[in-house]
Amino acid sequence: MIKYSLKCKCGEVFESWFTNSTDYESLKRKKLISCISCNSTFVEKSIMSPNVSSKSNKNVKNNKLEKSIKKELLKFRKYIEKNCKNVGSNFPQEARNIHYDNKTSKGIYGKATPEETAELIEEGIDIATVPWIDKYEN
């Protein structure tokens, strides 16, 4: 994983994590990276200094932080599974049905490709992408 500091043409500066630099470039080309303030896709990487630590317990702190984050994401997954309906790969169509037919729903979750996600956002459909932690991962 790599964290980039991003800057929008509106002047907003924010950070985001990517699998690697190729992942960032691919998402940028597909216009899937947008400003957190104005939703513009005119976002560029800005200069970011590396986080260098001289402490020997840095790895221990990182491991504790990673485990804590995974634990919270797993709790979030359990909450979603308990309170929402899994529509699987039908997620884009189900989200459209709810949005355009003004149906009330207790909530849905499922899978969508990056392209489908971008289309839903362009249509004004309120969705969120959530990291899905494996239940059996330590």
Please tell me which residue, 100 or 106, carries the higher pLDDT value.
100
pLDDT above 90 covers a percentage of the chain that reads: 40
pLDDT above 70 covers a percentage of the chain that reads: 88
pLDDT at 124: 93
Mean pLDDT of all residues in 25-52 = 83
To 5 degrees, how large is the angle CA 120–CA 46–CA 65? 75
Checking if the pLDDT of 54 tops 60, the result is no
Question: Cβ distance 23 to 16 under 8 Å?
Answer: no
pTM: 0.52
pLDDT at 65: 85
pLDDT at 58: 65
CA–CA gap between residue 107 and residue 89 (Å, rounded): 15
Residue 12, token pair as written in the block: 């907003």
Buried b (16+ CB within 10 A) or exposed e, 76-89: ebeeeeeeeeebee
Q: Indicate the angle between helix axes 114-122 and 91-100, nearest 10 degrees.
A: 10
